[in-house]
Amino acid sequence: MEKCTYCIQRIETAHIEADKANRRIRDGEVLTACQAACPTQAIRFGDIADVHSSVAQAKSSPRAYVMLGELNTRPRTSYLARLRNPNPALADEST
Amino acid sequence: MSAVLGDAASPALLARGQTHATVTAAISAISLHRRFGRYWLAGFAIALALCLLLVFGTGWLLHRGVGIWGINMPVAWAFAICNYVWWIGIGMGGTFISGALYLARKDWRSSINRYAEAMTVFAVAVSGIFPILHLGRPWFFYWLFPYPDVMNVWPQWRSSLEWDFFAIVAYLTVSILYWYVGMIPDLATLRDRAPTLGVARFYGLLALGWRGEARQWRRFETLSLLLAGLAVPLVFSVHSMVALDFSEALVPGWHSTVFPPFFVAGALFSGFAMVLVLGIPMRRMLGLRDYITDVHLANLAKVLLAAGLVVAYGYCTEIFSAFYSMDRFELAVTLRRMTGAYAWTFWGTILCNVLSIQLLWSARVRRNHAALFVIALLVLIGMWLERFMLIVTSLYQDFVPSSWGMYYPTFWDIAFLAGSLGLFLLMFLLFVRLLPVVSIFELRKLVHKGEVKST
């Protein structure tokens, strides 16, 4: 078992290119392996310090949560809670 | 006034009729003339066999990796870390007896400090094995050292492993120095009394040309004072550091500010217990009753009781702060320690460390050597169980129920524990045979003080 590297080699490739052009890494420039392989595009990766990046936008959603974030370990991976309606009676009202 | 508090040389610290000559002759004869009988040989054989087990175990570990132990996620720390903390804790007691009582000018340390210091050196040496073997790749242990290498690898100073390394190295260095420097005048005595030239050369080399001049004695006293002053704070800092290995983690049951003082008390507790466990058979077998008297053992028992009460207070504080915090994880761990799968280690700890020592309130028990031996042995077992309880019960069920799991020791876990006991015993038996087990020159000082007092 190995810990996920967050595709450091892909980040570094983009990092070097960005450094050569003297700019930040653009949103979407780094595509992690899991992200590329995901058929439903459920995985997003990017710069959470850039508020306009798609990953920062998703992270600011009220559905976003992290695992054991209350321990102040500042986890890198956030999840989006699934939207479900456990009460079928309400489904009719919304339509 | 009790002998613990008294600062004058109490006659009970030394049997009546002892003179400079009898003291010197009796102690040096142990190293020079005594024939060690079958008990020593039997002990040596057992220790050697256990050491071999440790050597084979280490070879197997290097070949197969730490998986030969029962550790796996979530319980990645178990026997090896327990052994490490247990052994280094035992070492603290010896330094405290020789260093702190020296600084406080307590005469009753004179006849027990030498073997207590030897115990420290051996215990710390044994403890150092475990963090290294617990590394995934022990052969790279020197990466812990901040040396200027071409790869620019620099130690991770935020890692408790790095702190362990510096703690052990610093402590081992100072305790060896303290032990050895204190032995130099006695080694010179052995050199001067050696029956053959070979023996004289052996002790002569170790004595570093000590001639007993006033100038040398003055430097010796200054150095002893400085080393004692260095060693005593180390007792507290090193074991506080060991405690921080745990406190720095966020795991419930470890993440606690009370750990450093609590661990220091536990370390002194187990160290005093080991001094008793070694001292009671040693004085009997080597005929040291005139030098290690009932007063010494009773004083040690009192100190053991005092340290034990601080440890018991630590247990209470742990439980109290869990309830006071109302943190559901802290509460869960505290309750699980008392009722969960490893509850027997908690109750075993309480039985050995808190209940058994209450007998020491009685002066009759303090004078009964068999009882003292059994209580001290129970304390040693209890302190090992306490480390196991603290480590494993915090790890086996933490925040995420999906990653809960049990820990079971394997044959090799037990083999390494037994092997470490064997290695310690081996070194101690060699010490008893080769080096002066009681400080001769300090006993002479005690005789002198007694003479001055009686005239």
Query: pLDDT digit string (tens) for B308-356?
Result: 999 999 999 999 999 999 999 999 999 999 999 999 999 999 999 999 9
HSE (side-chain half, CA atoms, 13 Å) at A5: 8
Q: Is A11 left (phi over 0), alpha (psi -120 to 50) or beta?
A: alpha
In a domain, A89, yes or no: no
**pLDDT value of position B106:** 86
**pLDDT value of position A1:** 58
Total CB pairs under 8 A between chain A and B: 6
In a domain, A22, yes or no: yes
Task: Give how many domains chain A has, as a whole number.
Answer: 1
Q: Tell me the C-alpha distance between B388 and B397, whole Å.
A: 14
In a domain, A52, yes or no: yes
Domain housing A69: 8-82
- Please, what is the average pLDDT of chain B? 91
B400 touches chain A (CB under 8 A): yes
B158 touches chain A (CB under 8 A): no
pLDDT in tens, B239-251: 999 999 999 988 9
- The residue in chain A having the minimum alpha-carbon distance to the alpha carbon of residue B400 is A68
In a domain, A93, yes or no: no
**pLDDT value of position B64:** 95
* Interface contact B399-A73, CB threshold 8 A: no
* Interface contact A71-B400, CB threshold 8 A: no
**Distance (Å) from the C-alpha of residue A9 to the closest C-alpha of chain B?**
20
Q: Quickly count: other Cβ atoms within 10 Å of residue B167's Cβ.
A: 25
**pLDDT value of position B404:** 93
- Distances in Å between the Cα of B160 and the Cα atoms of B89, B245, B247, B382 are 17, 5, 10, 25
Q: Tell me the C-alpha distance between A1 and B357, whole Å.
A: 47
Contact residues on chain B for A71, CB-CB shorter than 8 A: 250, 399
Residue B121 tokens, joined: 């050196």
B39 touches chain A (CB under 8 A): no
Q: Does pLDDT of B453 surpass 80?
A: no
**Distance (Å) from the C-alpha of residue A72 to the closest C-alpha of chain B?**
10
Q: Does pLDDT of B47 surpass 50?
A: yes
Contact residues on chain A for B250, CB-CB shorter than 8 A: 71, 73
**Distance (Å) from the C-alpha of residue B245 to the closest C-alpha of chain A?**
17
- The residue in chain B having the minimum alpha-carbon distance to the alpha carbon of residue A68 is B399
Q: Does pLDDT of A37 surpass 60?
A: yes
User: What pLDDT band is residue B427 in, cutting at 50, 70 and 90?
Assistant: very high
Q: Are B269 and B383 a contacting pair, CB within 8 Å?
A: yes
Q: Tell me the C-alpha distance between B243 and B256, whole Å.
A: 9
Q: Tell me the C-alpha distance between B127 and B90, whole Å.
A: 9
pLDDT in tens, B127-176: 999 999 999 899 999 888 888 888 888 888 888 888 888 888 999 999 99
- The residue in chain A having the minimum alpha-carbon distance to the alpha carbon of residue B250 is A71
Lowest-confidence segment of B141-145, B206-210, B298-302 by average pLDDT: B141-145
**pLDDT value of position B259:** 93
Q: Does pLDDT of A70 surpass 80?
A: yes
Domain ranges of chain B: 11-454
Residue A17 tokens, joined: 């290119």
In a domain, A46, yes or no: yes
Contact residues on chain A for B400, CB-CB shorter than 8 A: 67-68
**pLDDT value of position B5:** 38
Q: Are B66 and B410 a contacting pair, CB within 8 Å?
A: no
Q: Does pLDDT of A84 surpass 90?
A: no
Q: Which of B72, B179, B177, B89 is nearest to B126 (CA)?
A: B89
Q: Tell me the C-alpha distance between B267 and B240, whole Å.
A: 10
Q: Are B101 and B279 a contacting pair, CB within 8 Å?
A: no
Q: Tell me the C-alpha distance between B82 and B242, whole Å.
A: 11
In a domain, A61, yes or no: yes
**Distance (Å) from the C-alpha of residue A42 to the closest C-alpha of chain B?**
23
Q: Into which CATH architecture does domain B11-454 fall?
A: Up-down Bundle (1.20)
Which candidate in A66, A67, A70, A71 is best for mutational testing of the B interface (most B CBs within 10 A)? A71
**pLDDT value of position B136:** 86
Report the amino acid identity of residue B162.
Answer: E
Q: Which of B190, B194, B180, B188 is nearest to B213 (CA)?
A: B188
Q: Does pLDDT of A48 surpass 60?
A: yes
* B259 phi/psi in degrees, rounded to 5: -55, -50
pLDDT in tens, B429-451: 999 999 999 999 999 988 888 77
**Distance (Å) from the C-alpha of residue B260 to the closest C-alpha of chain A?**
22
Report the amino acid identity of residue B6.
Answer: G
B197 touches chain A (CB under 8 A): no
In a domain, A1, yes or no: no
User: What pLDDT band is residue A76 in, cutting at 50, 70 and 90?
Assistant: confident
Q: How far is CA B123 from the centre of its chain?
A: 5
Hey, which residues 228-257 in chain B have their CB within 8 Å of chain A?
250
Q: Does pLDDT of B396 surpass 90?
A: yes
**Considering only CB atoms, which residues of chain A are within 8 Å of chain B?**
67-68, 71, 73
Mean pLDDT of B233-240: 91
Q: Tell me the C-alpha distance between B293 and B439, whole Å.
A: 15
Cis peptide leading into residue B74 (ω within 30°): yes
Q: Quickly count: other Cβ atoms within 10 Å of residue B255's Cβ.
A: 17
Which candidate in B254, B328, B399, B402 is best for mutational testing of the A interface (most A CBs within 10 A)? B399
**pLDDT value of position B112:** 92
Contact residues on chain A for B399, CB-CB shorter than 8 A: 68, 71
**Distance (Å) from the C-alpha of residue B55 to the closest C-alpha of chain A?**
30
Residues 6+ apart with CB under 8 A from B98: B109, B113, B114, B116, B117, B120, B178, B182, B228, B231
- The residue in chain B having the minimum alpha-carbon distance to the alpha carbon of residue A73 is B250
Q: Does pLDDT of A93 surpass 80?
A: no
Lookup result for tokens 């009370």: B258
H/E element holding B180?
Answer: helix B160-193
In a domain, A71, yes or no: yes
**Distance (Å) from the C-alpha of residue B400 to the closest C-alpha of chain A?**
9
Residue B204 tokens, joined: 């002569």
Q: Does pLDDT of A68 surpass 50?
A: yes
**pLDDT value of position B6:** 40
**pLDDT value of position B177:** 94
Mean pLDDT of B284-313: 93
Q: Are B86 and B123 a contacting pair, CB within 8 Å?
A: no
H/E element holding A80?
Answer: strand A78-80
